[in-house]
Chains A and B, each alone.
Chain A
Amino acid sequence: MPRLEAGKNTRLQGIGIDLVDKKRIQKLIQRHPRRALTALFTAAEIKKTGPKNIRRLARLFAAKEAFFKAAGGAWLGLENFLKIEVHCSSEDHFRVESSKYKVSPKDRVFADGQFFECGNWVGAQVLIWGSKI
């Protein structure tokens, strides 16, 4: 499906950024292996990433947190983690889709992001943009 082209008919709806320590994600998953994976990541995300790839899981976590911030809300509940899905389009880029937040090609609203890393820290930034109302 063709994406919107940035320009006069599009509008930036939000920007979010997040940073997480890989060791913290590792500890969380080690302490609560099944619960943490199934509460934070969708089945498709776990299948693509693998349940033991801490670096990639930390990146997904950061992407979701960045998305929440871009969507205008601080994280206040676990439930929203499964209501969005991160799709990696290349090693460093991803897009997020969510029917709950109405971010999908069908809604003509897109969330694109980029990962970055420094030592034990992994981060993600997300832009949400769509056609003007």
Chain B
Amino acid sequence: MENEIFQKVQQILSEALGIEKEEIRGESSLVRDLGAESIDFIDIIFRLEKAFEIKIPSGELFPGNLFNDERFVKEGLVTSAGLEELKIRTPYLDIQAFAADPKVSRLADFFTASMVASYIQDKVAKSAQA
């Protein structure tokens, strides 16, 4: 199941970003390695929703609304409270690696193919239980 979901995610990312499927590895960063821009994130969200027949609520996969909160961001850096909040809201993200230099502008670098697959796997499992 896990592998099946990853392969489907790989296919979606490949089509959305115009990249060969084989070039997309689990640790591939959507921005840094695969060149995704904001419009691509939108396309990816819509494609995932369609392919897995799920609804991805705002801010759940790619957290954005968090950073409008002054408690969580100070002078472009995610505060320790912000890091804690990220852990809760996006458990699929490698917070430890991001915490070494928690610039808000760097966060998107940590959105990886395997992070997306883990999120989808959890989401699909939850919707199957419901």
Contact = CB atoms under 8 A, between A and B. Distances in A.
Interface of A: 20, 24-25, 28, 31-32, 35-36, 39-40, 61, 65, 72-80, 100-101
Contacts of B64: 73, 75-80
Interchain residue pairs A-B with the least CB separation, the first 5: A77-B64, A79-B58, A76-B64, A75-B38, A32-B46
A40 B38 CA distance: 12
Contacts, number: 62
Contacts of B47: 31-32
Q: Interface centre among A31, A77, A80, by most B CB within 10 Å?
A: A77
Given A28-B42, A73-B68, 9 more contacts: A28-B46, A32-B43, A73-B64, A75-B41, A76-B107, A77-B59, A77-B65, A78-B58, A80-B65
A65 B68 contact: no
B62 A40 contact: no
B5 interface: no
Contacts of A61: 39
Interface size for chain B: under 10, 10 to 19, 20 to 34, or 35 or more residues? 20 to 34
A108 to B, nearest CB: 20
B27 interface: no
A71 to B, nearest CB: 9
B3 interface: no
A32 B16 CA distance: 12
Interface in B39-76: 39, 41-43, 45-47, 49-50, 58-59, 62-65, 67-68, 76
Interface of B: 38-39, 41-43, 45-47, 49-50, 58-59, 62-65, 67-68, 76, 104-105, 107-108
Contacts of B68: 73, 80, 100-101
Contacts of A31: 43, 46-47
A32 B48 CA distance: 12
A74 B104 contact: yes
